Amino acid sequence: MKKFPFLRTVKMIFLGCFLAGFVLFLILGKTFLEDSLLLQVSALREIKDSAIDKDAFFRYIAWRRLFLVGVCVWLWWKGLGKWGIYTCLGWIGATMGACMYTCLFRYHFKGIFLWIFLYFPHLLCYAAALFCGMILTEGKLPNKAEKIKFLWQHWLFVLGFGVAVLLGMYAEGYINVSMLQDFLQFF
């Protein structure tokens, strides 16, 4: 734990935002979810029965994730990388909490399995990328030369960050879609 002092902060942010998302949907609950199509049976049937163009979906995912990575890299370059990662982590936590409440509200115990299939396996890759990103944001680097030297010294974490993001995009665009459609056959 002493080697990675940011882990406590990361856990607090993620869990706090997860609970905030869950509680927000708990408060909005029935009125909001009954009027929306969010994870409704008809929407899940559409996903199950549709032929998804995985290449187009992957391009969509890649554009969204690479834009987010670009913003985080720009924030890191400006010295605010930690805040960019904290924001991403909070957003992921809040959406996962809201999604969990929605799955439980609509499908009770069965909803837990739906929630798992919505986030597995790509979220593991994105978690690894966030971990590498947090390690890269640990020090204060005042000038361009020190930043470039730091990146060369920590090339393994830079490579790990890039590979984890690419694997996460691939898993989200191709693997997760297939797994979700297969799971929905039994849902």
With beta carbons less than 8 A apart as the criterion, state whether 166 and 132 touch: no
pLDDT of residue 2: 60
Find the DSSP H helices in the chain.
Answer: 6-35, 41-49, 54-77, 81-107, 109-119, 122-136, 144-153, 155-170, 176-184
Q: Are 20 and 97 in contact (CB under 8 A)?
A: yes
The answer to whether the beta carbons of residues 119 and 96 sit under 8 Å apart is yes
What's the confidence (pLDDT) of residue 1? 46
CA–CA gap between residue 63 and residue 170 (Å, rounded): 12
Neighbours of 162 (CB within 10 A): 13
pLDDT at 16: 96
**In the chain, where the domains are located:** 6-184
Question: How confident is the prediction along the chain (187 residues), in pLDDT tens digits per residue?
Answer: 467 777 888 899 999 999 999 999 989 877 788 778 888 888 899 889 989 899 999 999 999 999 999 998 898 888 888 888 899 999 999 999 999 999 999 999 999 999 999 999 999 999 999 999 988 887 777 778 888 888 888 899 999 999 999 999 999 999 999 999 999 988 7
Please state the pTM of the whole predicted model: 0.87
pLDDT of residue 115: 95
